[in-house]
């Protein structure tokens, strides 16, 4: 008569039970809460059940909380931290920020920012650097008290160019102007001062003066 090896079977059962995955236990200290206040020191007032406490925003909570938000609160070593925003009563405007950070850097090989309605960038000092920068727009406006363009070559191409100014000053070492069609100037008073030689060449030239026409010089040659 063969005996029953109950000890070996129990050992195999206990070993199999120990190796099987167990359902994760609830993490102690993680509870939902509701934001009731915010202060200037980035402290978040949260109600957890019947308890009101002040919590800090964790670095992982990049969405700035607002009053009324449902948040996930963690209690660690007697301190409370807001880990994430779970729900918002009026999800209209969202603000992304890193608490207590003076500089936030976003780095990736390719970054795309898409806004269906509008995009606003505001800063006291803004800088845009790139080997190739292109701005494509149906309408483009640049408004400021002072605008400075510095380049080795500045080229402007347009079907029509209009410039309006109360005063205009142009300074250049050399200047060449080419007009294929008609060049028309309408001025109140025109004064040209040439230090060395002035030459004008035309197929035909007409000078019209209503009152006086004067040629002043040490020597005047006509013809």
Give the C-alpha distances (Å, rounded to integers) separating 174 from 4, 150, 171, 177: 112, 18, 9, 10
DSSP helix/strand/coil, 124: coil
Fold of 27-102: SH3 type barrels. (2.30.30)
Tokens of 202: 């035309």
- Asked if the model's pLDDT at residue 8 lies above 80, the reply is no
H/E segment holding residue 48: strand 43-48
Tens-digit pLDDT profile for residues 147-174? 999 999 999 999 999 999 999 999 999 9
Q: Between these two residues, 12 and 101, which has the higher pLDDT value? A: 101
| CA gap 87, 70 in Å, rounded | 5
Tens-digit pLDDT profile for residues 103-154? 999 999 999 999 999 999 999 999 999 999 999 989 989 899 999 999 999 9
Looking at residue 1, its pLDDT comes to: 45
Supply the pTM of this predicted model.
0.58
DSSP state of 24: P
Sorted by where each begins, the domain ranges of the chain are 27-102
């Amino acid at each position: 008569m063969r005996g029953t090896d109950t000890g070996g079977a129990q050992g195999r059962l206990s070993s199999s039970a120990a190796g099987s995955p167990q359902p994760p236990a609830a993490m102690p200290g993680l509870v939902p809460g509701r934001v009731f206040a915010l202060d200037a020191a980035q402290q978040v007032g949260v109600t957890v059940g019947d308890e009101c406490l002040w919590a800090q925003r964790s670095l992982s909570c990049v969405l700035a909380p607002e009053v009324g938000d449902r948040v996930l609160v963690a209690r660690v070593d007697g301190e409370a931290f807001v880990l994430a925003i779970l729900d918002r009563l009026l999800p209209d405007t969202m603000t992304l920020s890193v608490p207590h950070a003076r500089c936030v850097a976003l780095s990736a090989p390719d970054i795309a920012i898409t806004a269906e309605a509008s995009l606003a960038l505001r800063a006291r000092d803004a800088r845009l650097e790139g080997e190739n920068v292109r701005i494509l727009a149906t309408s483009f406006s640049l408004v400021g008290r002072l605008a400075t363009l510095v380049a080795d070559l500045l080229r402007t191409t347009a079907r029509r160019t209009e410039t309006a100014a109360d005063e205009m000053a142009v300074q250049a070492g050399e200047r060449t102007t080419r007009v294929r069609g008609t060049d028309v100037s309408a001025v109140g008073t025109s004064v040209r001062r040439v230090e060395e030689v002035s030459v004008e060449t035309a197929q035909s030239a007409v000078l019209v003066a209503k009152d006086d026409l004067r040629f002043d010089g040490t020597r005047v040659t006509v013809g």
